[in-house]
Amino acid sequence: MSFETLGLRAELLRAVRDQGYTEPTPIQKKAIPVILQGRDVMAGAQTGTGKTAGFTLPLLQRLSETALPAGRRPVRALVLAPTRELAAQVGESVATYGRHLQLRSAVVFGGVKINPQIEKLRRGVDVLVATPGRLLDHVSQKTVDLSQVEFLVLDEADRMLDMGFIHDIRKLLALLPENGKRQNLLFSATFSREIKELAQRLLNRPELVEVARRNSTAERIQQVVHPVDKRRKRELLSHMIGSRNWKQVLVFTRTKHGANRLAQQLEKDGLSAAAIHGNKSQGARTRALAGFKKGDIRVLVATDIAARGLDIDQLPHVVNFELPNVAEDYVHRIGRTGRAGNQGEAVSLVCVDEHKLLKDIERLLKKSIPSVVLEGYEPDPRIRPEPMQNGRGGRGGRSGKGQKSAGGNLGNTRAARSRNRPGAGRAASR
């Protein structure tokens, strides 16, 4: 199947060709025709499989099928995203694929001055991409009107719920035309009970589109665990980057302070590094990401704010310096590599305190992650084999020793997720 067979208009096909794409991904093959039919959609696929184009292309197609309104253009399509980086990425996709159309778009998020956004909104836009917090700021200042929205997209809706945005989303939904008078699209890489409940309230007889088992990771990502004493993690990370000549690596920590400290330590080890997290100004985050993409920065250390929204072509390596407190975040973290059909490697440095977190991740993935003890970096001597609790017995397929859990049960409720996330809450994406 080619993009031509999906029923897209010539201007969109031209934009797709400009990007060097010739064949749609599985999620695009399934989602685009359904969206073009005007159906509500609940779509799930692994990160890096083209979800953004999967809703952007048909959205632009449907908007272009009607005549442009005279005078100031109302917002006709609204895309909500949980983080600034993801909003910027979606906005870039809208501009890229819509470059040959006469549609206008804008992106609004916090951390930057609001006046330039107000000026752009006053000129009128067809497609608005926004984080919920900043969009409500515009609503309160009466600089945006959402009463004529025809299309609503929730991108990474599970993250918005985890970050505590459900109340903001409800406020925004009350400002839109009633359900049945707009088309609703919900896209995410993971589904949860809360997402299903939101979908029942938001979507109108939706078409469920999935191309892989839920909460799974891309097959092109090679995953490995390195058991290591907590005190030697930074040393092992620097050793791997240097000895394996990694030119570009994204490293995840749990906390903002930990990200800053690790970036400083790597700099002392002679590795160009920068940290990106919610306490950084938007300018600093943008500069760090741009330097990383250009190759000026070798190691980008990030909290989970970067787990979604970072779209870096051919990023070869992702390292979990610390495992996430929420298993689903592991899927999104390692989904920064192995994108668009490329190979990727995801390495997790696991100490004894993180064994419970590792078990939660493997339970979510329904498989064990191969474990390798690197020479010279023996794991904590307290680590002992422990059976898996999913009916398969011990840690099959591991080449290293098992690990005894020292971590408590963090739970899997939405409240626990929000409490355990660094920078959780509305301020993280404003």
- pLDDT single digits (tens) 93-123: 999 999 999 999 999 999 889 999 999 999 9
pLDDT top residue among 206 and 198: 206
- pLDDT band at residue 233 using 50, 70 and 90 as cut-offs: very high
Amino acid at 171: K
* pLDDT tens digit sequence for 208-226: 888 755 545 556 789 999 9
- Ramachandran category for residue 95: left, alpha or beta (phi over 0 → left; psi -120 to 50 → alpha): alpha
Q: What is the mean pLDDT of residues 232-257?
A: 93
298: tokens are: 């070798």
pLDDT top residue among 140 and 45: 140
* pLDDT tens digit sequence for 272-290: 999 988 788 878 888 888 8
Element (H, E) at 226: strand 221-227
Phi/psi of residue 95, each to 5°? -65, -40
**Domains in the chain and their CATH numbers?**
3-210 (3.40.50.300), 221-407 (3.40.50.300)
Interatomic CA distance for residues 273 and 266, integer angstroms: 6
Amino acid at 134: R
Pairing of strands 207-210, 41-44: parallel
Amino acid at 333: R
pLDDT top residue among 241 and 161: 241
Structure confidence at residue 93 (pLDDT) = 94
Structure confidence at residue 380 (pLDDT) = 58
345: tokens are: 């490697």
Structure confidence at residue 300 (pLDDT) = 94
Phi/psi of residue 344, each to 5°? -145, 160
* pLDDT tens digit sequence for 42-85: 988 666 678 899 999 999 999 999 877 766 789 999 999 988 88
pLDDT top residue among 68 and 144: 144
- pLDDT band at residue 418 using 50, 70 and 90 as cut-offs: very low
360: tokens are: 């939660």
* pLDDT tens digit sequence for 379-411: 655 543 343 334 333 333 333 333 333 333 323
Mean pLDDT of the chain: 82
Which stretch of 33-37, 313-317, 351-355, 422-426 has the lowest confidence by average pLDDT?
Answer: 422-426
Structure confidence at residue 195 (pLDDT) = 77
pLDDT at 360 over 50: yes
- Using DSSP's 3-state secondary structure scheme, residue 47 falls into coil
Structure confidence at residue 224 (pLDDT) = 94
Residues belonging to the chain: 430
Structure confidence at residue 78 (pLDDT) = 98
- Ramachandran category for residue 9: left, alpha or beta (phi over 0 → left; psi -120 to 50 → alpha): beta
Structure confidence at residue 66 (pLDDT) = 85
- Ramachandran category for residue 46: left, alpha or beta (phi over 0 → left; psi -120 to 50 → alpha): beta
Q: Which residue in this structure is represented by tokens 């310096």?
A: 321
Interatomic CA distance for residues 37 and 208, integer angstroms: 14
Structure confidence at residue 133 (pLDDT) = 93
pTM (2 decimals)? 0.64
380: tokens are: 């904590």
